[in-house]
Structure 1
Amino acid sequence: MTGRIQDRLDIEKAMRHYAVGLDERRFEEWDLAFTSDGIIDFTPMGGKRETRDQMRDRLSRPDPAWLFAQHPLYNTIVTIDGDSATAFSHFQMETGRRGEKDGQIVRVSGGGSYEDTLARTPDGWRITERRVYLKWKQTYTVTDEVPRG
């Protein structure tokens, strides 16, 4: 039983490397979420299907309008079968970009689910494929209440 508990903790850690690496733009952490040939599939919500490296390269380009993102995970269910696993989790996303006027932020709030396939590798559990489903989304403009330097 102890090995399965550690596996679950390590699987959830890989899943969180995705969110923290993406939100904080720490792509060295992002890489810890996936196998080197890992896939992120946004086609269920009308987006792209990309490799880990393609998405990292696209998102790591300088973007002066980008301010923040957060993607908490919850309601996670993990099923382990030897050296492979599947996981389901809900997420909520909050992103912010500079608006057209000084002091404005264009906020995008949303939520959905991730369906992950994972593999045990010599470096630990890693996502081989993540499918992303968006359940709701709202875009709105707000006044920025955070002092930015």
Structure 2
Amino acid sequence: MTAREEIVERLAELATAIDARDWTAVAAAFLPDAHGYSRDGVEAIVRQMRDHLDGCGPTQHLLGNHRVAVDGDTARSLTYARVHHVGAGPMAGRFFECMGEYDDRWVRTPGGWRLSSRTFDMRIVLGDFAVLRPA
């Protein structure tokens, strides 16, 4: 696979891991000192994600319009995302959906491409943000 193909595959793996709540796989996608979701360090990044998703019902991250620029052992990808969250427990029957763009920075490691930075620019928001909650 080309570096671009590897990064697009990593993006799909990460989206699948998030939807499966496979926090070990999510953590493995990031460098230990990564910055993401307004947090520093992989543990804080995963904690932030869990605080939003552990009390939420099923989710689906759909990705597309991948633009990947590789420069040696670093890369940047810009990826459209449409993310649907189903409410659970007291939020059953509600939903939260957001659409936007991931801006990811990557580093090639001996184990493959890993994220050094991730931001998500939410451009469209539908439903009830309170669907996102800790367990």
Whether 1:66 and 2:56 are equivalent positions in the alignment is: yes
Taking structure 1 as reference, are residues 52 and 87 closer, same or farther at Cα in structure 2, changes over 3 Å only?
A: same
Aligned pair count? 127
Give 5+ residue unaligned stretches, structure 1.
Answer: 42-47, 141-149
Give the partner amino acid of 2:86.
G
For 1:68-107, what aligned pairs fall within 5 Å after superposition?
A: 68-98=58-88, 100=90, 104-107=92-95
Give TM-score scaled by structure 2 length.
0.82
Taking structure 1 as reference, are residues 99 and 58 closer, same or farther at Cα in structure 2, changes over 3 Å only?
A: same
**2: CA distance between counterparts of 1:69 and 1:121?**
29
Q: Deviations over 1:49-97 (max 9, x none)?
A: 3432113234447x77421111111000000111111110100010012
CA contact (8 A) 2:104 2:119 kept: yes
CA contact (8 A) 2:36 2:117 kept: yes
Whether 1:18 and 2:14 are equivalent positions in the alignment is: yes
User: Percent of pairs identical after alignment?
Assistant: 23
Taking structure 1 as reference, are residues 106 and 12 closer, same or farther at Cα in structure 2, changes over 3 Å only?
A: same
Tell which structure's C-alpha radius of gyration is larger: 1
- Displacement, 1:18? 2.4
Q: By percentage of residues, which structure has more helix?
A: 2
Taking structure 1 as reference, are residues 120 and 94 closer, same or farther at Cα in structure 2, changes over 3 Å only?
A: same
Taking structure 1 as reference, are residues 13 and 64 closer, same or farther at Cα in structure 2, changes over 3 Å only?
A: closer
- Displacement, 1:16? 2.2
Give the partner amino acid of 2:113.
W
CA contact (8 A) 1:40 1:49 kept: yes
Give TM-score scaled by structure 1 length.
0.75
Q: CA RMSD of the aligned region, Å? A: 2.2
Give 5+ residue unaligned stretches, structure 2.
Answer: 129-135
